[in-house]
Amino acid sequence: MASQHTVRIEPLGKDNFDTWRIQMEALLVKSDSWSVVSGESVKPEATAEDASAAATAAAAAARTAWERTDRTAKSDIILAISPSELKLIKGCETSHALWQRLQATYQSAGPARKASLLKKLTLHRMTDGEEIRDHLRGFFDTVDKLGEMEVEINPDLLTIMLLYSLPPAFENFRCFRCKRFGHKAIECGKSRGNDEAPRKVEDLSMYASSDFSPPQNAFEIESAPEREKWCLDSGCSSHLCRDTRDFSEISNVANGTLNLATKASTEIKARGTVLFTGDVNGITKRVSVKDTLHVPELRTNLLSVGKITDRGYKVIFDKFAAEIVDKRNRQTVLFADRKDGLYYIRESKSECCAATEKKESRALKTWHQRMGHLNVRDLVKYVRAGDVRALEAFKEFKAYAERQTGKRIKYLQSDNGREYCNSEFDAFLREHGIGRRLTTTYTPEQNGVSERRNRTLVEMARCLLIQSQLPPSFWAEAVNTSNYIRNRCPSSSLNGRTPFEAWTGKLPDVSHFRSFGQKVYVLNRDPKKGKFDDRSKKGIFLGYSDVSKGYRVWISGERRVDVSRDVKFLDFSEDAIADKFEDFYDDKRQTNNENELGIEIELCPDEAKIDIREGDALSEEEEEIDNPGENRPGRGPGRPRIVRTGLRGRPKKAHHSARLADEECANLAEIPTNMAMSGPEKDLWISAMKSELEAVLMNGTWVIHELRSLIDAGIVGFKCFLCPSGVDEFPHVSVDDVKKTILELLSTKTVLAFHAEFERDEKMNLLKGTYEYNTFKFLRKSIFLYCIFLDDPGSYDTFLHTRPDIMELDAVKLICDWCIKYDFRCHIVHLSSAECLALIKDAKTRGAPLTVETCYHYLVLAAEEIPAGFTEFKCCPPIRKNSNREQLWHGVKNGTLDMIVSDHSPCVPELKTSGNFLTAWGGISSLQFGLPLIWTAAKMRGIPFVDVSKLLSSQPAKLCGLEDRKGDLSVGKDADFVIWDPEESIKLDADDIYHKNKLTPYQGKILFGKIIATVLRGRFVFKEGKICDKPLGKLLLNANILQTIKTQ
C-alpha cells in the first residue's frame, strides 16, 4: 500500500531540519511507524522460560512485527536524508536512536548553536531580486528557532535588525492605495472604496524609493540622487524604460504586451524617445534613444544590444566593463561598468543644479543657498542686475488677483481633472463670464507651464531639506519658502523679470533673504518671563511670513512656529547647520575649558602685601597706575592702597588690577623639561631634581595606605611602571615599593598591572633625555651622569637597541616570582618580547594567578618593515622582529597570552613627526582598527573567529570584573556587538579615521572585515560611517564608587 502512495519530500540537509522534521513525522504517522520512532512503542521483552507455548509464540510474533516496523521506519528516514549527511547516523541500530541522533545534531540548544543562529540573524540581508515575503519568512524562521532555545530578543532591537536587513530602496515607503510616499496604507486618508492593490505579489519590492536620501551638502554634492540605471541586455529585443520623466517625446498609445523571460507578461504603456547623459572619460555626452517602450513594471531600464548593433555600433564586453564603439570612426561613445553580474551604463552625475562648481566664491555660494539653490546662470544674472477645495481656492484667487491688479480673468486653462471639470465649477465660470480652455486628453505637454512649475518647486524644496538636513515633516515649510523665493527669481518667460515685479511693478528686495534651516536666536517677548529667564530662544529658520514683515522660526523647545522680526542668525557653516534635527533634546555639547577638572583656583595678588612708605619715589609706570590706558585691565576687587609720594597734593590711590581670564600666571605654569635642560639655569635644575629625588627615597614618602581607600571605593586594579615611563605624571616604582604594595593589598581581590620593562643597570637609561646626532651629550639618571656616542636617531634599529628583550625578560621574571610567592593577582600589560613566553607558561603551570596581554601592533607589524624616520611606529615596549611576531602568535594559540588589546595612545602631530625615534612620542593609535587587524592576521594563521572574540572581548571583560554584563552575547547581559562583513576587504585611508589626530602606522593597509554598525546596550552608536551625536557610555564601577562620587 505504501508503494502506491509514494510521497516525495526534500532530503534532509544542513539548513532544513525544521521543515523536514514536520514532513517526515507526517510520513511516519501515515505509515503507522511513528510510535516506534518516537519511542512510545518499545520492543517487546522475551517471555519467561516457564511461559506457555501460546504466550511465547504471541511474544515472538509481536517482536517480529515491531522489528519489521522499526526497519521500515529506519529505511524511510534514511532514504529522506541527503547523502552528504548520512555519516551522522552511522552506528544507529534502531529508528528511535537514529531520530534522537538527528535531533541532537540539528536541534542542539548549546551555546554554539545559539551563537550560530544569532550570527545568521544579525547578518541576514535581503538580496537583489529576492521577494520581500521570502526575506521575512527566513528572518522570522531564525527568530522562532532562537525562541525554541529560550533566547528572547528585545522587540525594539528585533525591529531595528529587521529594518537594517532591508536594502536602501526601502528607506521611504509608498502607499499602495494612493501611490504617494511618506505613509503606509493603514494611515492613508484615501477612501477604501478606491483601493488599488498592486497587480502582482512580486511587485511589492518596487514600492520603495531612495529619492529622498540626503547627501551631506546639496551644494557640494558629488553624486546626484541615484537615477534609474540603464542596463545592457543582449536578450532584450527593444529598449525599455520604466519612468516617463526620462522621455523627451512620448506617445501614449498602448502597444500591447511585453513577454518576459519568466514566461510572464506585462503591459506596454507608451513609446517614445529617451534622453540621458553618459560619462566617457570625464566628458559628458547626451544620448538619445529612439523607439523606447515605456514599461512601468520594470525594475531597471534596459538597452537592447541588438538594437544598438542595428544602428551601426559595436558592443565589446570584458570582465569588468563594456564599451559601445562607433564603427565609422572607432570612437567609444558609451561605457558600461559591471556590477552584480550586469553591465550598467556609466551615466554623468553632473546634472544637479546644486553641484555646479566647488570653486565658486563664498558670496555666490551663500546666495545660492539663500535663493533655494537657483541655477547659477539666473543667480549671476539676478545678482548683477479636492473638487470643492479647488473651486473655493479659485474663488479666493480670483477675488485677490482682480482686486490687486485691477484686471479681470478672461480664461481658465486646466487639464481634464474632475476637480476643475464639474457642474459647480462650470456654473461659476458661466456666472462670471470666464471662458474655459482644456488640454487635449492624454497630452500633458499642453499643460507644461504648471507641470514645470510644480517640478521646480518640488526640486527646490528637496534641495532646501537636503541642505538643512531637516526631517521630511518640514516639507510644507520648504515648499512654501521655495514658492516665496521663486516669485523673486528672474524668469525667461517674463523676459528676465521676476514674477513679483510683473505682479506689483516693483523690483523685489532680497536683502532679508537667509539660508533655509539656519540656526537662529529669537528675542523672547513673553510678558510673563521672569527676571532670570533667557532673553532669547533657540530656533531654526523656516522661511518668510506672508502677512507680516517677519521670519518664520521653528522653536524646538515649544514645538511651534513663531513669527518674529527680532532674529539673530548664526553663520551658515557646517557647525551652524542642524547636523541632525535635534527636536527632542537640548544641545548640551561639552566645551573646551582650561579648567577641565572643575578645580577652583583663587588668586591672591602679591602686590596687595606691598607696603610703599612715605617718601619713596614712584616710577612712571607706578604713577600711571591710577590712569589705566586703553588696553589696561580694569580695577580688581578690594580697597586701594594709599601711595604717599611726599609731594604736594592728595596721596595717590593704587587700585588692584583685575586679572584676565587668559592671563598667564608664572606661579601656575610648568616649565617644560627640554627648556629647563637647555636654559642658562640647567645646573640649578639638575641640582634641585637630585635633591628632591634623594629626599623622596630617604624619607619613604610613597603613600601606600591610600590604595585601600580606593579599593573600598570600587577601584578594580592599579598599574605601575618598573622603568621610567617618559611622562612626569607617571613615575616608576622600585622593587621595595612593589613589595610594600603587594603586602598592603594581599587580602583584597584587586589586580596589580605591570608595564614589564626593568633596568638592572643604570646604563640602560642613557638614551632617554635630550639627544643630538653624532655629538656627546651628558644625560641625567637620578644622581649619575654618563657620556655616550649616539647612533643615527632616525633609524628604528637605534631605538630598538635602547630597549632590548632583556628588559622585559628581567621584569617578567620578577613579576612571576612575586605572583607565586605572594599568591597575588598580577597582570602584564602589552607584552612584546616572545622570549618571556616560557617564563609565563612555567609560572601558570605552577599555579600563579597571572594574566598577560599583547597588542595589535606586536601581532601585525614587524621591525624589518619600519622605514627610517617613520616615528608613527614607535611604542614602548618596541615592535620587534618578524620571528618574534610569529612566536607571539604561537603564544596566543596555546593560551600563554590571555588577551589582545589596543594600547591606544594618540598624540598631536608635533610630538610624532620629528623623524627622531629617540625623542618622538611613544604610542600607536589603533583602537578603531582592532577587529579588522586581528581578524586579518588570525585568518591567515587558521585561528577561528570564536577564539578572536574571546581574546578581544570575553577575556578583557573578565580581567576588569565585568563578566556579569560584558564580554559575550547571552541572556541578561548588555547587548554590545558589532555588525560586520568578515569577507569584505577595506583600505584604511585618512578620511576613514575617526580619532582627532590621524596618525597611525596602519594607514594604507588593506584588511578583511568591514564594520557596518556598532550596537551598545541595544542602541546604534555607529552605523554606515556615522557616529551617534551623543555619547552613550556609562561609568562601569560598583555602587560604592558611584556613591563616593556623588558625595564628593
Q: Which residue has the cell 611576531?
A: 885
In a domain, 669, yes or no: no
| Alpha carbon distance 907, 471 (integer Å) | 38
Question: What pLDDT does residue 808 have?
Answer: 93
More confident residue, 221 or 303: 303
Name every residue whose Cβ is closer than 8 Å to that of residue 806 and which is 6 or more positions away in sequence: none
In a domain, 176, yes or no: no
Q: Name residue 751's beta-bridge partners.
A: 717
More confident residue, 662 or 715: 715
Whether 94 and 233 share a structural domain: no
Name every residue whose Cβ is closer than 8 Å to that of residue 170 and which is 6 or more positions away in sequence: 163, 205, 208
More confident residue, 97 or 352: 97
Question: What is the identity of the amino acid at 182?
Answer: G
Tell me if 552 sits within 8 A of 474, measured CB to CB: no
Identify the band that residue 1042 occupies on the pLDDT scale cut at 50, 70 and 90. very low
Summarised one tens digit per residue, pLDDT across range 754-780 is 999 987 643 334 333 333 333 233 333
Q: Which residue has the cell 550596537?
A: 1015
Name every residue whose Cβ is closer than 8 Å to that of residue 115 and which is 6 or more positions away in sequence: 946, 969
| Alpha carbon distance 521, 529 (integer Å) | 16
Taking residues 543-572, report their average pLDDT: 86
Whether 786 and 749 share a structural domain: yes
In DSSP notation, 906-959 reads ---GGGT-SS-TTTS---B--GGGHHHHHHHHHHHTT--HHHHHIIIIIHHHHH
Tell me if 746 sits within 8 A of 822, measured CB to CB: yes
Tell me if 769 sits within 8 A of 726, measured CB to CB: no
Summarised one tens digit per residue, pLDDT across range 16-56 is 777 888 888 888 888 888 888 888 888 887 777 767 777 77
Among candidates 104, 40, 35, 105, which has minimal Cα distance to 72? 35
Name every residue whose Cβ is closer than 8 Å to that of residue 875 and which is 6 or more positions away in sequence: 855, 857, 903, 905, 922, 923, 924
In a domain, 609, yes or no: no
Question: What is the identity of the amino acid at 946?
Answer: V
Distances (CA, A) of 730 to 720, 721, 723: 8, 8, 10
Name every residue whose Cβ is closer than 8 Å to that of residue 524 and which is 6 or more positions away in sequence: 533, 534, 535, 536, 537
Whether 489 and 524 share a structural domain: no
Taking residues 464-478, report their average pLDDT: 88
Strands 239-241 and 283-294: parallel
| Alpha carbon distance 89, 100 (integer Å) | 10
Cell numbers standing for residue 377: 546662470
Per the document, the length of the chain is 1048
More confident residue, 972 or 841: 841
Name every residue whose Cβ is closer than 8 Å to that of residue 991 and which is 6 or more positions away in sequence: none
| Alpha carbon distance 380, 413 (integer Å) | 33
Whether 321 and 404 share a structural domain: no
In a domain, 281, yes or no: yes
Domain boundary among 561, 586, 611: 586
Whether 333 and 396 share a structural domain: no
Q: Is 685 helix (H, G, I), strand (E, B) or coil?
A: helix
Backbone angles phi, psi at 778, to 5 degrees: -90, 125
Q: Name residue 854's beta-bridge partners.
A: 900
What CA dihedral angle connects 767, 769, 772 and 773, to 10 degrees?
20
Cell numbers standing for residue 212: 529622498
Tell me if 500 sits within 8 A of 489, measured CB to CB: no
Among candidates 848, 841, 845, which has minimal Cα distance to 821? 848
Most confident of 268-272, 394-398, 402-406, 827-831: 827-831
Question: What pLDDT does residue 993 have?
Answer: 85
| Alpha carbon distance 438, 426 (integer Å) | 12
Produce one character per residue of 109-121: b if its CB has 16 or more CB atoms within 10 Å, e if not. Answer: eeeebbbebbebb
Identify the band that residue 574 occupies on the pLDDT scale cut at 50, 70 and 90. very low
In a domain, 576, yes or no: yes
Total of domains in the chain: 6
**Terminal-to-terminal C-alpha distance of the chain:** 86
Whether 338 and 385 share a structural domain: no
Whether 68 and 150 share a structural domain: no
Whether 41 and 152 share a structural domain: no
Tell me if 465 sits within 8 A of 214, measured CB to CB: yes
Tell me if 485 sits within 8 A of 544, measured CB to CB: no
Summarised one tens digit per residue, pLDDT across range 172-224 is 556 666 656 556 666 665 544 444 433 333 332 222 233 333 333 333 333 33
Q: Which residue has the cell 565609422?
A: 328
Please state whether the peptide bond connecting residue 651 to the residue before it is cis, i.e. omega within 30 degrees of 0. no
Summarised one tens digit per residue, pLDDT across range 591-627 is 333 333 333 333 333 333 333 333 333 333 334 334 4
| Alpha carbon distance 254, 276 (integer Å) | 23
In a domain, 626, yes or no: no
Question: What pLDDT does residue 456 have?
Answer: 85
Domain boundary among 956, 973, 990: 973
Distances (CA, A) of 677 to 391, 687, 725, 732, 800: 89, 12, 19, 21, 25
Give percent of the chain above pLDDT 70. Answer: 73
Question: What is the identity of the amino acid at 857?
Answer: H
Cell numbers standing for residue 770: 635630550
Q: Is 971 helix (H, G, I), strand (E, B) or coil?
A: coil
Q: Which residue has the cell 536587513?
A: 165
Q: Which residue has the cell 588692584?
A: 656
Element (H, E) at 140: helix 132-148
Identify the band that residue 92 occupies on the pLDDT scale cut at 50, 70 and 90. confident
Cell numbers standing for residue 841: 607558561
Instruction: Cite the beta strand spans of 160-218 per DSSP E.
Output: 172-173, 208-209
Among candidates 679, 688, 699, which has minimal Cα distance to 783? 688
Summarised one tens digit per residue, pLDDT across range 924-947 is 988 888 899 999 999 889 899 999
| Alpha carbon distance 232, 344 (integer Å) | 6
Whether 97 and 122 share a structural domain: no
Domain that holds residue 452: 357-507
In a domain, 1001, yes or no: no
- Average pLDDT over the chain, rounded to whole? 75
Helical pair 53-79 and 95-106, crossing angle rounded to 10 deg: 40
Identify the band that residue 369 occupies on the pLDDT scale cut at 50, 70 and 90. confident
Backbone angles phi, psi at 86, to 5 degrees: -65, -25
CATH number assigned to the domain comprising residue 266? 2.40.70
CATH number assigned to the domain comprising residue 490? 3.30.420.10
Instruction: Cite the beta strand spans of 160-256 per DSSP E.
Output: 172-173, 208-209, 230-233, 239-241, 247-251
In a domain, 695, yes or no: no
Cell numbers standing for residue 1031: 555619547
In DSSP notation, 282-295 reads TEEEEEEEEEEEE-
Whether 803 and 712 share a structural domain: yes
CATH number assigned to the domain comprising residue 544? 2.30.30
Whether 334 and 379 share a structural domain: no
Cell numbers standing for residue 750: 584587586
| Alpha carbon distance 521, 429 (integer Å) | 49
Long-range contacts at 558-566 (CB < 8 A, ≥ 24 apart): 559/583, 561/477, 562/522, 562/537, 564/522, 564/523, 564/525, 566/522, 566/523, 566/525
Taking residues 988-1014, report their average pLDDT: 86
| Alpha carbon distance 286, 345 (integer Å) | 13
Whether 369 and 402 share a structural domain: yes
Summarised one tens digit per residue, pLDDT across range 244-302 is 878 878 876 656 788 776 667 788 888 888 888 888 777 778 888 888 888 888 888 89
Kindly report which listed range (180-194, 670-684, 701-715) carries the lowest average pLDDT score: 180-194
Domain boundary among 507, 542, 576: 507
Q: Which residue has the cell 559628458?
A: 284
